[in-house]
Amino acid sequence: MKILIADDEKLARLRLESLIAECGENFQVVAEAKNGLEALQKWKQTQAQVLLLDIRMPEMSGLQVAQELLKFENPPAVIFTTAYDSHALAAFEANAIDYLLKPIRKDRLLTALQKAQVFKQAQLQLLQKNLPSENRRSHLCVQVAGDLHLLSVEEILYFQAEQKYVIAKTRHKDYLLDDSLKALEEEFSDSFLRIHRNALVSLRHIHELHKQEDGQVLVKFHDFEQTLAVSRRLLAKVKACFKDFKLNNL
């Protein structure tokens, strides 16, 4: 079984590698990563069957990496590692493959790896549905010229569905996403507003709702020329949500 270790602490990675070696020849470490983005890149290269993911890593947590892995047809089994026995564990304990509390013991690691051998993709999907809201992504993983990059959600003006893809629009560039518009709406419901069946707009980037002579209402952005039309069916809700956002962010 091929294993990838992701932890921002080198000593933690070395300890896990040593423990895995003691678990027998059936388990082999094929790559290591020091952050979430690197973990995704290394997994794409190695197709490791198991990821040992530290929960707290810079920019992209282990939970967020698990969300990204759902986009792939055959995602690996995920085992979380953490130094914090806190409320976060209760949010996914029943649905995760397993989690290991640091300092990790050999017998617990072996048990977790054995569980991973009977991993079902449905378990990871259940984990995604039960992620606490504070673990929603601050960055999205996007492909640029074949490489993975992190895109800050705060930079995104809007998401727009076009044929089979969703585009994340920033002031300077468009990015293709694998996420569905519905999934993005559910994850970022506090900061993005659906204005049309094919568009979600960042509330923080809206300058005004402009009504034209024909009655059509357009979303205008701060320091950005392009506008988006608001669906007549959603107009009342859009106006109310935009007003509430402005009042709460004065």
Give me the residue label for tokens 């094919």: 198
Taking only the tens place, the pLDDT of each residue in 182-213 is: 989 988 999 999 999 999 999 999 999 999 99
For position 186, which CATH number holds? 2.40.50.1020
Amino acid sitting at position 142: V
Residue % of the chain over a pLDDT of 70: 88
Total domains present in the chain = 2
Give me the residue label for tokens 């998401």: 159
DSSP 25-59: TT-EEEEEESSHHHHHHHHHHH--SEEEEES--SS
Give the pair of three-digit tokens for residue 88. Answer: 């976060």
pTM for this prediction = 0.65
Is pLDDT at 132 greater than 90 in this prediction? no
Is pLDDT at 146 greater than 80 in this prediction? no
d(CA 158, CA 160): 6
Phi then psi for residue 200, to 5 deg, are -120, 130
Query: Which pLDDT score is estimated for 90?
Result: 44
Taking only the tens place, the pLDDT of each residue in 58-75 is: 878 888 888 888 778 778
Asked whether 95 and 86 are in contact (CB, 8 A), the reply is no
In terms of domains, do 123 and 13 share one?
A: yes
- 248 pLDDT band, cuts 50/70/90, is confident
In terms of domains, do 79 and 180 share one?
A: no
Is pLDDT at 94 greater than 50 in this prediction? no
Query: Which pLDDT score is estimated for 210?
Result: 95
Which CA distances in Å does 39 have to 56, 67, 71, 111, 233?
13, 13, 15, 23, 43
In terms of domains, do 129 and 144 share one?
A: no
In terms of domains, do 64 and 157 share one?
A: no
Of 73, 50, 244, 53, the closest CA to residue 135 belongs to: 53
Q: How far is CA 38 from the centre of its chain?
A: 14
Mean predicted lDDT score pLDDT of the chain: 86
Query: Which pLDDT score is estimated for 59?
Result: 75
In terms of domains, do 122 and 221 share one?
A: no
* Mean pLDDT across 232-247: 92
Of 91, 90, 63, the closest CA to residue 79 belongs to: 63
In terms of domains, do 80 and 157 share one?
A: no
Which CA distances in Å does 119 have to 35, 75, 140, 145?
24, 10, 26, 32
Query: Which pLDDT score is estimated for 89?
Result: 55
Amino acid sitting at position 95: N
Query: Which pLDDT score is estimated for 130?
Result: 53
In terms of domains, do 154 and 121 share one?
A: no
Give the pair of three-digit tokens for residue 74. Answer: 């055959």
Give me the residue label for tokens 């055959």: 74
Is pLDDT at 236 greater than 90 in this prediction? yes
For position 22, which CATH number holds? 3.40.50.2300
Query: Which pLDDT score is estimated for 134?
Result: 53
Residue % of the chain over a pLDDT of 90: 54
Is pLDDT at 76 greater than 60 in this prediction? yes
Give me the residue label for tokens 């617990």: 108
Query: Which pLDDT score is estimated for 250?
Result: 66
d(CA 55, CA 43): 17
Tell which of 133, 162, 190 closes a domain.
133
Query: Which pLDDT score is estimated for 110?
Result: 92
Identify the domain containing residue 100 by its residue range: 2-133
Query: Which pLDDT score is estimated for 61?
Result: 84
In terms of domains, do 113 and 148 share one?
A: no
In terms of domains, do 198 and 222 share one?
A: yes
In terms of domains, do 119 and 157 share one?
A: no
In terms of domains, do 45 and 28 share one?
A: yes
- 129 pLDDT band, cuts 50/70/90, is low
d(CA 138, CA 123): 24
* Mean pLDDT across 93-112: 80
Contacts of 222 (CB under 8 A, 6+ apart): 205, 206, 207
